[in-house]
Structure 1
Amino acid sequence: MAAAAASSPFPAASKLAAAHPPPEGVKYAYGTAGFRMRAELLDAAVVRMGMLAALRAKQTGKAVGVMVTASHNPVADNGLKMVDPSGGMLAASWEVLAAKLANAGIADVGAELAAVAGEGACGDAACEGAVVIVGRDTRPSSPALADLVAAGVASVGGSVLDGGVVSTPQLHYLVGASNATARACESARLGGLRPDVDGYFARLATSYKACLAAAAVDAAAAAPEQGTTIIDAADGVGGPQAARTASDLAGALSWEVRNAGDSASLNDGCGAEFVQKGRTPPRGVDAASDALPGSRICSLDGDADRVVFHAFVPAEGEAGASWELVDGDKLAALLAVTVGAPLKRAGGEA
């Protein structure tokens, strides 16, 4: 095996791949959500995706991202998804390459990389200057998998920027901001694009206040007079991120975070997937204490890239409350009405 690695067009990468063989009988499939399965089955796939991400960064001349997460899956699972330089999803043509490389035999990894890199672009330093931003969620398995991604990047000569524990939307922002892909006018109006997590929070706060101003809403009066907003953070990365956002928007927006940080209970009886599919409230909330006028509940998933709203609605003139879910379709309709009103006032078309 050592001789095969030495004769490979990518010697260091082939040696690393040999040290992390795919489990017997496992077939990797890269879809919209990237790779996702039991965490202990992922070593081979994530180390090879580090290599592929570096090649993508080298060929585009811009940073790309890798997020280690399994989103709304149970805590024993994990996964990986790649982020293109725009901050959007990986190009569909590269999803095919990802699956092919992940499933290649150990002896074929170097050849598969060479097919992607092109003639004359191989070797242990092939991706010198390429940058891959790696983020991860709060699962216990995520740090080790993120380290394997970094090892894969390094094996082909690329460099890693550690995004740390971030939500998936934050990683998308970090990649897009690093490559300055936002329109200049929008960037200037909202305070620029700082390619770090502080820049993400600053932009979020500035954008929210700009929306209030456009709708002629007094920021100090934006918080409800009664009740509160409760965030069910699914015991994932959304807990600390929501707390930071509330701090940045103090006086304009307030909420209470529940299910905020026990990663061992990630997505267990809580979170957007549990609420939407089960049509039931998450743990940590109940009608007895949370059925207050003006109160509403927001459930995130484990990597905070998905949301549903719901509430306990007190019955008029009667004891008790009914639970009502506002799913994606209803949220879309609500957004259309909310955006349409200021457009009409401004003389535009809704």
Structure 2
Amino acid sequence: MATHEEQIIAASAKHPIVPVENGYQYGTAGFRMKADLLDGITFRVGLLASLRSRKVDSQTVGVMITASHNPAQDNGVKIVDPTGDMLEQSWEKFATQLVNAKSDQELAQRYTALAKENKIDLDVPARVIYGRDTRPSGHTLVAALNAALDATNTTYVDYKILTTPQLHYLVRATNTEGRPDSYGEVSEAGYYKKLSDAFVRCMKHKKVDGPLVVDCANGVGGPKLSEFLKYIPKDKVDFDVQVVNDNIIRPELLNLDCGADFVKTKQRAPPVPKPEVGVRHCSLDGDADRLIYWWLDPELAERGGFVMLDGDRISTLAAQFIKDLMDRAGLNKQEDDRQKLRIGVVQTAYANGASTKHIKQYLKLPVVCTPTGVKHLHHAARDFDIGVYFEANGHGTVLFSHQALSTFKDTQPQSPAQKDALDTLLALSDLINQTVGDAISDMLLVEVILAHKVWSLRDWVMTYSDLPNRLFRVEVANKDLFRTTDAERRLSHPEGCQQEIDIEVKKYTDARAFARASGTENAMRVYAEAATRMEADELCDRVAHIIHRWGA
């Protein structure tokens, strides 16, 4: 009978790695690049998934094959931990080590060495589930993944085409099945049932105002949203949703001039279909984990008629609503601060300064800033009983601690209004996908809040005014010369560069600017905001010039 190493060597030979100059690096998105480079990488990620499952006492781990908002010719692969969270950060280096092995023999040896180093018994069971988005390259990459799982004697389930959040849901549901903290039924239908039931509970005696047009980026979110809508009982909630940009037959259309990334970066409506003035629109990205709301309002001429509500806006909306529910439920009245549930908001340096000011001064809630990357925000949000986090790009969620959930369940209401608030908080904890940012779940959250507040999108946008801002890309000779501190808001190296940026920032009103290295390109991202559009653009140009000079 072949040894573990012999099985890996034989299987790896059929899925060779394509060497690149600086090697491959596992990041927040796992490995993501042109699909024709990913066959050998996906095989090796499968090896790591089998090790990870054995390390966590044979719990099920997930593998998702997707490239999110990237163009159709790209793809990616990443691992989901047993709780439905992203791969534990300390294991990212193991993924990098395996993928950069230079030969089949070296790969097998590294696999064995990692098992020994982490005290992993290779003879205990390993369990993996996986899914993929609608990209045609997914078929080939699934074959490579299967080969790795077979070579390591791993039990696996192929859930075929899924949104990324659905796979995260299924991983946690699988590992909590039959337990008091069961996350939901272990099936795609279970995901739909959980969200639908929670949505109905949240919308009790409330009404959605008017239609919602959902741009699905011609990705997996289109068919999955259409399927979900079948689960909402028409006699309980009148939810008029029009699903557009849902063509998955022509893969070249994926994320092409549509979707959350297009709307956020171009700051304009997708050209197809022609948007209706005054109607609520929202856009998902290619794997349905980002959400951006927008609408056309000719009366807001200074905004060019196009008005966008991004992750910062969703974050402030959710934080305010949950805080109001907590007040109505009487959960913020304890005299002992140690008994109060702590609500906090987590942002990155890209969050608009006006949103941060609104949260601190108007909502009176703490704000934590972390480096860019959902894994950083998710980790920081856990420090609160209720942690709200969204990146400006529309990726985010709300985390509820065990203490918060117990409090919602155990508090005895003293009035009908208090009972209604407690019931809504519990329903929200089921509606929100706490494993990862989920565009469909977050969309339902926004619709619930707008219905409870009886708000239009114009009411929402009028809560505060965004500071004009600009994001610019600067090519440099070596991005690694630039190092950041203070959650990527300041440069520590090269020495003297930040001081020059500070001098420029002081010349403008309500101004802020920073520069950070791109995660995938040899370039720097420069962000600037100020009181007026002209000042923001001018500040961005000046900081970009500083970065270009130091990076030449």
What TM-score do you get using the length of structure 1 for normalisation?
0.86
SS at match of 2:292: strand
Q: Which has the larger radius of gyration?
A: 2
Aligned residues of 2:217 and 2:286 also touching (Cα < 8 A): yes
Structure 2 counterpart of 1:298, from 278, 282, 286:
282
* Corresponding residue number in structure 1 for 2:475: none
Structure 1 segment 157-172 matched on structure 2, within 5 A: 157-172=153-168
Q: Give me the whole-angstrom Cα distance separating, in 1, the residues matched to 2:280 and 2:10.
A: 53
Matched, 1:243 2:226: yes
**Larger RCO (CA within 8 A; separation ≥ 6):** 1
Deviation track 1:276-334 (CA, whole Å, cap 9, x = no partner) reads 011111132435xx113xx2111111100111111112428x9xx81100011111111
Matched, 1:195 2:186: yes
Deviation track 1:72-126 (CA, whole Å, cap 9, x = no partner) reads 000000000100011100011111100110011112011110012228967xxx3
Q: Give me the whole-angstrom Cα distance separating, in 2, the residues matched to 1:127 and 1:272.
A: 44
Residues 121, 81 of structure 1: alpha-carbon distance in 2 compared, 3 angstrom cutoff: closer
SS at match of 2:256: coil
Deviation track 1:9-38 (CA, whole Å, cap 9, x = no partner) reads 511111222222222425211100100000
* Corresponding residue number in structure 1 for 2:322: 339
Q: Give me the whole-angstrom Cα distance separating, in 2, the residues matched to 1:121 and 1:328.
A: 40
* Corresponding residue number in structure 1 for 2:83: 86
* Corresponding residue number in structure 2 for 1:15: 10
Q: Give me the whole-angstrom Cα distance separating, in 1, the residues matched to 2:328 and 2:307.
A: 31
Q: Give me the whole-angstrom Cα distance separating, in 2, the residues matched to 1:75 and 1:111.
A: 35
Structure 1 counterpart of 2:137, from 137, 141, 151:
141
Counterpart residue type for residue 99 of structure 1: T
Q: Give me the whole-angstrom Cα distance separating, in 1, the residues matched to 2:16 and 2:30.
A: 19
Deviation of 1:127 (Å): 5.4
SS at match of 1:40: helix
Q: Give me the whole-angstrom Cα distance separating, in 2, the residues matched to 1:301 and 1:127.
A: 40
Structure 1 segment 196-345 matched on structure 2, within 5 A: 196-213=187-204, 218=205, 221-224=206-209, 226=210, 228-251=211-234, 252=237, 253-262=239-248, 263-287=251-275, 290-292=276-278, 295-315=279-299, 322-345=305-328
Q: Give me the whole-angstrom Cα distance separating, in 1, the residues matched to 2:311 and 2:77.
A: 24
Q: Give me the whole-angstrom Cα distance separating, in 2, the residues matched to 1:11 and 1:231.
A: 50
Could you tell which deviates more after superposition, 306-315 or 134-143?
306-315
Q: CA RMSD in A?
A: 2.4
Q: Give me the whole-angstrom Cα distance separating, in 2, the residues matched to 1:260 and 1:182.
A: 36
SS at match of 2:46: helix
Aligned residues of 2:217 and 2:284 also touching (Cα < 8 A): yes
Q: Give me the whole-angstrom Cα distance separating, in 2, the residues matched to 1:281 and 1:261.
A: 18
Gaps of 5+ in 1: 1-5
Q: Give me the whole-angstrom Cα distance separating, in 2, the residues matched to 1:133 and 1:195.
A: 11
Q: Give me the whole-angstrom Cα distance separating, in 2, the residues matched to 1:57 and 1:347.
A: 43
Q: Give me the whole-angstrom Cα distance separating, in 2, the residues matched to 1:31 and 1:222.
A: 42
Residues 9, 236 of structure 1: alpha-carbon distance in 2 compared, 3 angstrom cutoff: same
Gaps of 5+ in 2: 333-342, 344-552
Q: Give me the whole-angstrom Cα distance separating, in 2, the residues matched to 1:275 and 1:64.
A: 33
Q: Give me the whole-angstrom Cα distance separating, in 1, the residues matched to 2:153 and 2:187.
A: 24
Q: Give me the whole-angstrom Cα distance separating, in 2, the residues matched to 1:270 and 1:121.
A: 45
Matched, 1:179 2:171: no
Q: Give me the whole-angstrom Cα distance separating, in 2, the residues matched to 1:279 and 1:174.
A: 34
Deviation of 1:211 (Å): 2.4
Aligned residues of 1:173 and 1:200 also touching (Cα < 8 A): yes
Counterpart residue type for residue 258 of structure 1: V
Aligned residues of 1:271 and 1:282 also touching (Cα < 8 A): yes
Aligned residues of 1:68 and 1:136 also touching (Cα < 8 A): yes
Aligned residues of 2:217 and 2:255 also touching (Cα < 8 A): yes
Q: Give me the whole-angstrom Cα distance separating, in 2, the residues matched to 1:258 and 1:325.
A: 18
Residues 337, 285 of structure 1: alpha-carbon distance in 2 compared, 3 angstrom cutoff: farther
Counterpart residue type for residue 74 of structure 2: D
Counterpart residue type for residue 88 of structure 1: D
Deviation of 1:341 (Å): 2.6
Q: Give me the whole-angstrom Cα distance separating, in 2, the residues matched to 1:142 and 1:184.
A: 36
What TM-score do you get using the length of structure 2 for normalisation?
0.55
SS at match of 1:249: coil
